[in-house]
């Protein structure tokens, strides 16, 4: 190893970060300057990674939870020798098309583990990564899976509520290979954190079952000693590193002026002079760069040793590991669901879709027992997503494949992202649809990143009944459908449930919501075409010979309402058809021709959904009839509520008759 003063190594990060923010005239120099010593120690002495192979399976994960400090990460990628992260990319920080966007995007830049920026998400996602590591290590052995998850958090990360959910879970699960480095600079945007905070973070983490200590975060020896201690702990570890934001900037260091704007030419020059950095923009001394590159190549030997160990595995185990990490589904899954649907045709299941989902889950878990990973935010008995064969996961039972998340919807959703990003599992998490509100920030990130996670969201309308309007979603379907790359399925019966589960599990480029009922529903389908009719979002469930006068569109529990309305219309001599719409946004994403053929051109178009109208105009037109919710719900038995809010076959029939004159 080339011997270079480690402070000069850290200064390389500081110089690049200052210059990039200065050139972009936007960004956050304070965090990279303050946390440069932490990052230098971690990346040169501890982190197991190979810059030439950023996706090697047994690498340590590093998550920059405080995504606004992105220049820290970009500097590290460049310095350690990530082939795509050139100096030119750093010069184009925050510019269109560059690999250096404002906040780190894992789907955009190689070497970034997860997308961060919304504070708190990174640490919560990292818990999922550390959990996946523990589970996979128990299954495949420590020779194949044995890595740490390091996270750099800021004050803001630890103020966000989701961090509490995350650290509670990590402590409870004894995720001792998770090590959180806290950039404790006591400054946020408004000024000192004392304006709004007086939490003792060391005590807070200790009370959640972590090892925690406070150190001088500008002292590289102290940082190294603390990480070495953390690696030996049998608990997850917090290292609270007291740092100075904007370290080295003579006037702005230690103040909120260093947080989120360019330092300005004078301060930048003065900072560089103080730190002994060349005034030439974007320059790194040769010896420092050489030393950084050596650090980046340090892990190549570990990777090669891992590859040799991996090669010793039997061919079946090797293929299984590779398949799992690539998120490919086993052939047994398609067969299991085919058999399951066949059984449903023979013995129809007239139950709530949450119950028919449970039946589908039993079949799925049999086909992929170790990778299908369910969990619930304390509603297991209501969400029905625990397979009969599944055992509860715990610190002592790492092979368990059902996770009790406690009442932590947000932490659960972030954890699902981390599990998926780590690889090896097809995770789903469950709660009531109404509480998607509590999970939404992580769900949005799932859609942005394209993580193939599944949300089992039961109690999906006023049909849940007595719990009343606090628990009855009305705007949630529309709100979730509005998220780009989020797939929302609201299946109408046991067959659609099986079809939607299949689509959800095979969708590994984005998340899927399964909105399921509490109340019983009849099995409406009498065939299971091989091409899975749910795949196009909507299909004709009840056809009519010739031209239809009325087209009825519905999702989920209201498909039954539409089917009954259709019967009544036909009895009155009015030709009517029913289109089941398990996924409105998927229908609207089909080619126009396909949409036209499904929507048809009946003079009267009626949509029925026990939710708000948003989105349906694209199917029924602005002048179409909508039978659904126009307000919050109410507390009463479900049957009374559907009548009270006018979501009945009679209401649909009356609307059609009125239109037809």
Ligand X SMILES: Cc1ncc(C[n+]2csc(CCOP(=O)(O)OP(=O)(O)O)c2C)c(N)n1
Contacts of 417 (CB under 8 A, 6+ apart): 114, 125, 128, 442, 445, 446, 449, 451, 453
**Cβ 101 to ligand X shortest distance, Å:** 14
Whether 556 and 490 have beta carbons less than 8 Å apart is answered as yes
What does the alpha-carbon distance between residue 46 and residue 305 come to, in Å, rounded to a whole number? 17
Cβ contact 272:17 at 8 Å:
no
Stretch that binds ligand X, among 61-69, 221-229, 289-297, 423-431 (CB under 6 A): 61-69
Residue 129: CB minimum distance to ligand X, A? 20
When binding is defined by CB under 6 A, the residue of 189, 395, 482, 660 that contacts ligand X is 189
The correct pick among 117, 427, 429, 556 for binding ligand X (CB under 6 A) is 117
Q: In what order do the strands lie in the sheet with 426-432?
A: 402-404, 372-376, 426-432, 454-458, 512-515, 487-489
Residue-wise DSSP of 358-386: HHHHHHHHHHSTTTEEEEESS-HHHH---
254 and 243 Cβ atoms separated by less than 8 Å: no
Q: CB 160 → ligand X: shortest distance, Å?
A: 6
Residue 266 CB coordination number (10 Å)? 10
Considering only 39, 66, 239, 336, the residue that binds ligand X (CB under 6 A) is: 66
Alpha-carbon distances, residue 507 vs 57, 452, 459, 501 (angstroms): 22, 6, 24, 10
> Which of these segments, 27-35, 86-94, 221-229, 493-501, binds ligand X (CB under 6 A)?
27-35
Residues 303, 342: Cα–Cα separation, whole Å? 47
Footprint of ligand X on 152-171 (CB under 6 A): 154-156, 160
Tokens 């160990």 label which residue?
Answer: 309
Closer CB to ligand X, 69 or 473, in the complex: 69
Answer yes or no: are the C-beta atoms of 20 and 46 closer than 8 Å.
no
Does 411 bind ligand X (CB under 6 A)? Our answer is no
Nearer Cβ to ligand X (34/209): 34
Q: Does 187 bind ligand X (CB under 6 A)?
A: yes
Please tell me whether residue 241 binds ligand X under the rule CB under 6 A: no
Indicate whether 552 belongs to the interface with ligand X (CB under 6 A).
no
Is 259 a binding residue for ligand X by CB under 6 A? The answer is: yes
- Examine residue 31 and tell whether it contacts ligand X (CB under 6 A): yes
CB of 190 to ligand X, least distance (A): 8
| Cβ(561)–Cβ(608) below 8 Å | yes
Choices 116-124, 197-205, 370-378, 581-589 (CB under 6 A): range interacting with ligand X:
116-124
**Which residues are catalytically annotated?**
409
Smaller CB separation from ligand X, 244 or 564: 244
| Distance between CA atoms of residues 578 and 403, nearest Å | 39
Find the binder of ligand X among 8, 48, 61, 68 (CB under 6 A): 68
The DSSP element (H or E) to which 603 belongs, if any, is none
Helix axes 315-325, 300-312, angle to 10 degrees: 130
Q: How far apart are CB 243 and ligand X at their closest, in Å?
A: 8
Q: How far is the CB of 185 from ligand X (least distance, A)?
A: 5
Question: Could you tell me whether strands 454-458 and 211-216 are parallel, antiparallel, or unpaired per DSSP bridges?
Answer: unpaired
Residue 133 or 160 with smaller CB distance to ligand X: 160
User: Which residue from 245, 412, 503, 516 is in contact with ligand X, where contact means CB under 6 A?
Assistant: 245
355/491 Cα distance (integer angstroms): 12
Q: Does 29 bind ligand X (CB under 6 A)?
A: no
Among 101, 111, 118, 465, binds ligand X (CB under 6 A): 118
Q: Which is closer to ligand X, CB of 195 or CB of 311?
A: 195
Least distance (Å) between residue 380 CB and ligand X: 29
Residue 226 Cα to chain centre, angstroms:
31
Cβ count within 10 A of residue 189: 10
483 binds ligand X (CB under 6 A): no
Indicate the residue among 70 and 536 with the shorter CB distance to ligand X: 70
Smaller CB separation from ligand X, 66 or 368: 66
Indicate the residue among 449 and 488 with the shorter CB distance to ligand X.
Answer: 449
Please give the structure tokens belonging to residue 631: 């307000």
Contact range with ligand X by CB under 6 A, out of 114-122, 397-405, 458-466, 524-532: 114-122
| Residues constituting the chain | 661
CA–CA gap between residue 412 and residue 377 (Å, rounded):
7
Minimum CB distance to ligand X, residue 118 (Å) = 4
Stretch that binds ligand X, among 117-125, 315-323, 357-365, 567-575 (CB under 6 A): 117-125
Cβ(614)–Cβ(547) below 8 Å: no
Total residues in contact with ligand X, by rule CB under 6 A: 20
Do the beta carbons of residue 444 and residue 610 sit within 8 Å? no
Q: Is 125 in the site for ligand X (CB under 6 A)?
A: no
Task: List Cβ<8 Å contacts ≥24 apart for 310-316.
Answer: 310/144, 313/144
Q: Applying CB under 6 A, which part among 187-195, 422-430, 431-439, 450-458 lies near ligand X? A: 187-195
Residue 96: exposed, middle, or buried by beta-carbon count in 10 A (0-12, 13-18, 19+)? exposed
Considering the complex, what minimum distance in angstroms separates the CB of residue 184 from ligand X?
9
| Cα 307 from Cα 460, distance rounded (Å) | 47
Nearest-approach distance from CB 27 to ligand X, in angstroms: 11
Q: Which residues bind ligand X (CB under 6 A)?
A: 28, 30-31, 66, 68-69, 117-119, 154-156, 160, 183, 185, 187-189, 245, 259
């Amino acid at each position: 190893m080339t011997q270079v003063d480690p402070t000069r190594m850290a200064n390389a990060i500081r110089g690049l970060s200052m210059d990039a923010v200065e050139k972009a005239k936007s960004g956050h120099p304070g965090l990279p300057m303050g946390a440069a010593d932490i990052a230098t120690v971690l990346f040169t002495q501890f982190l197991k990674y190979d810059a030439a192979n950023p996706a090697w399976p047994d690498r340590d994960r590093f998550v920059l939870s405080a995504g606004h400090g992105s220049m820290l990460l970009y500097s590290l990628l460049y310095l350690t020798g990530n082939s795509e992260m050139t100096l030119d990319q750093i010069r184009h920080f925050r510019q269109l098309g560059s690999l250096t966007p404002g906040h780190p995007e894992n789907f955009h830049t190689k070497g970034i583990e997860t997308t961060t920026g919304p504070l708190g998400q990174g640490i919560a996602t990292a818990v999922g990564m550390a959990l996946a590591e523990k589970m996979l290590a128990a299954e495949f052995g420590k020779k194949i899976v044995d890595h740490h998850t390091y996270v750099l958090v800021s004050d803001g990360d630890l103020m966000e509520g989701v961090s509490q959910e995350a650290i509670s879970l990590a402590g409870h699960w004894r995720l001792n290979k998770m090590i959180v480095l806290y950039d404790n600079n006591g400054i946020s945007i408004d000024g000192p954190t004392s304006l709004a905070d007086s939490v003792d973070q060391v005590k807070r983490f200790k009370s959640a079952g972590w090892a925690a200590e406070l150190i001088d975060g500008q002292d590289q020896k102290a940082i190294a000693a603390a990480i070495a201690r953390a690696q030996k702990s049998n608990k997850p570890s917090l290292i609270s590193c007291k740092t100075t934001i904007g370290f080295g900037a003579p006037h702005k260091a230690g103040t909120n002026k260093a947080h989120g704007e360019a330092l300005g030419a004078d301060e930048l020059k003065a900072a560089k002079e103080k730190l002994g950095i060349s005034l030439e923009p974007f320059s790194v001394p040769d010896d420092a760069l050489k030393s950084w590159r050596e650090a980046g190549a340090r892990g190549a030997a570990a990777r090669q040793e891992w590859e040799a160990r991996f090669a010793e595995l039997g061919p079946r185990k090797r293929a299984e590991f590779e398949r799992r990490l690539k998120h490919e589904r086993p052939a047994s899954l398609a067969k299991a669901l085919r058999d399951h649907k066949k059984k449903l045709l023979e013995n129809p299941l007239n139950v709530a879709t949450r119950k028919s989902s449970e039946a589908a889950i039993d079949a799925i878990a049999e086909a992929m027992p170790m990778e299908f990973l369910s969990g619930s935010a304390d509603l297991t008995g209501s969400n029905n997503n625990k397979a009969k064969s599944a055992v509860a996961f715990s610190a002592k039972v790492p092979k368990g494949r059902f996770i009790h998340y406690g009442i932590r919807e947000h932490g659960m959703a972030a954890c699902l992202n981390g599990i998926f990003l780590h690889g090896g599992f097809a995770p789903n998490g469950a709660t009531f649809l109404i509480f998607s509100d509590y999970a939404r920030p992580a769900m949005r990130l799932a859609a942005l990143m394209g993580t193939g996670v599944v949300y089992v969201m039961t109690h999906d309308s006023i049909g849940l009944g007595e719990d009343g309007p606090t628990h009855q979603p009305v705007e949630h379907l529309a709100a979730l459908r509005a998220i780009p790359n989020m797939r929302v399925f609201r299946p109408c019966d046991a067959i659609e449930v099986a079809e939607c589960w299949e689509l959800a599990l095979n969708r590994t480029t984005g998340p899927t919501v399964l909105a399921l009922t509490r109340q019983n529903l009849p099995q409406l389908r009498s065939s299971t075409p091989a091409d899975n009719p749910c795949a196009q979002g909507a299909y004709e469930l009840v056809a009519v010979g010739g031209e239809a006068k009325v087209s009825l569109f519905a999702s989920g529990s209201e498909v039954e309402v539409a089917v009954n309305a259709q019967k009544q219309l036909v009895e009155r001599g009015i030709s009517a058809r029913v289109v089941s719409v398990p996924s409105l946004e998927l229908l609207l994403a089909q080619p126009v021709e396909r949409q036209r053929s499904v929507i048809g051109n009946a003079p009267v178009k009626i949509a029925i959904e026990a939710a708000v109208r948003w989105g349906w105009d694209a199917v029924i037109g602005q002048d179409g009839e909508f039978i659904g919710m126009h307000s919050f719900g109410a507390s009463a038995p479900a049957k009374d509520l559907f009548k009270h809010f006018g979501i009945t076959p009679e209401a649909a029939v009356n609307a059609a008759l009125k239109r037809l004159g």
